[in-house]
Amino acid sequence: MRIMTKYAIRNLLRRKWRTLMTIGGLFLSIFAIILMFSLSRGLAIRTTATGDDKNILLISRKGKSVMFGSIKGDELVHLMQLKDIAEDANGDQLISPEVMHVSIAESDDKKGKAPLSIRGVSNIAYEVHRKVKLIEGNFPENANEIMVGKTVYIKLGLTEDTLKIGSYIKFENVEWLICGKFEANNSLFESELWCVDEDLMTILKRRTHTFAVIAFTDKQAAEKGLTSFSKTGAISRYFKGWIENTYYRDFSKNLQWIVWISFITSIAVLVAAILIGINTMYTAIVNRMREFGTLRVLGFSRIDIIATLIFESIFLALLGGILGIIPGLFLNGVPVKIANSAFSLIVDSSVIIAGLSVTLLIGLLGAILPSMHIIKNTIIASLNTRR
């Protein structure tokens, strides 16, 4: 570029207040866009991390979901005929009957109260759900013991250091002793409470499980096993099934309205930011037409001038964008609660790259569209332009 970059920067400094106002507008715009992107990213990671492609989740043939199903013990026997089911150290097949229930839970200090998903499981569930890892305490063993996911505190509106081992959480008019905490690879499981299935069934006065999960030796075995649920036989008569992570992806479609809201908001903010850039550059170009005419007389081409304006616009956009991204980094890990789940905002490299890409787009469009005014003007017309 024949016109030195310092020429463009000097022009920005000549209009200090307008430059600062533009940077401020772009700062707010990019920060808002980072917020929306981090929300979508956090939800996407939460839902895609839930479940295992080596597991089959099944409910009763007449069931509606993992909460509204009914599986009897003698029906589970038919599942043992499936091939390539994974086994534990004792040679037992990894078939986990479970109970899913939603109830209003309250911390023992009465400061946190919210609807939570409670999962009743047997010991074999901890081998079926390979992503579940105990991070503190122990698995539920005794009556009315419960294990909490590491993001349950978000749903209850508490701080991370609450729900300590040895404290209580109350639901269904029963106090449950917190015996452990677990993580599950940032999946939806982390916003659940896990207890012994028999305890939960006793409290709910039910004799059947609501669903079951089968662990297979590998992904291909699970996919092959899934075909049994559509063939004529006892399995298809009693059950319907899904690959586990597919089930939760389909379930998460109920939360897609959040993604759409963030997408629409991002587009609205992006349009506003582009208009800010266009307005700034258009005003600058109109007020500097005589200057551009002089540059043309000195031998600089339209392309030289437009290239300088593009640099000027992108430089201005990057200033505002980077200032918006920096505080956006502190959004990473901010807790968000929704429905019966909770997750955190994620500001990773993909979000930052997206923010920078939007910034460059704003700078580019902000300069190119107003620059059309220069292309149409002759040197004489530019020199005769009045400020």
What pLDDT, in 10s, does the model give residues 42-68?
877 777 778 899 999 999 998 888 888
- Helix pair angle (289-297, 302-328), 10° resolution: 130
What pLDDT, in 10s, does the model give residues 75-104?
999 998 899 999 988 889 999 999 999 999
Residue 12 pLDDT:
64
Residue 27 has φ and ψ, to the nearest 5°, of: -60, -50
Name the one residue in this structure whose structure tokens are 């099944």: 58
Residue 289 pLDDT:
63
CB atoms closer than 10 angstroms to residue 253: 10
Residue 375 pLDDT:
59
What pLDDT, in 10s, does the model give residues 128-168?
999 999 999 999 988 899 999 998 998 888 888 888 999 99
pLDDT band at residue 195 using 50, 70 and 90 as cut-offs: very high
In whole angstroms, what is the distance from residue 212 CA to residue 125 CA?
10
In whole angstroms, what is the distance from residue 93 CA to residue 210 CA?
19
- Residue 194 pLDDT > 70: yes
Helix (H, G, I), strand (E, B) or coil at 164: coil
Distances (CA, A) of 283 to 16, 22, 277, 371: 14, 12, 10, 11
CB atoms closer than 10 angstroms to residue 372: 12
Please give the model's pTM, rounded to 2 decimal places.
0.76
- Residue 259 pLDDT > 70: no
- Residue 218 pLDDT > 90: yes
What pLDDT, in 10s, does the model give residues 107-135?
988 888 889 999 999 999 999 999 999 99
Sequence-distant (6+) residues with CB within 8 A of 324 are 26, 27, 28, 29, 30, 31, 33, 34, 355, 359
Which of 17-26, 207-216, 218-227 has the weakest average pLDDT?
A: 17-26
In whole angstroms, what is the distance from residue 11 CA to residue 23 CA?
15
Residue 232 has φ and ψ, to the nearest 5°, of: -65, 130
Which of 214-218, 234-238, 301-305, 325-329 has the weakest average pLDDT?
A: 301-305
Task: Enumerate the domain spans of the chain.
Answer: 5-48+255-383, 55-217
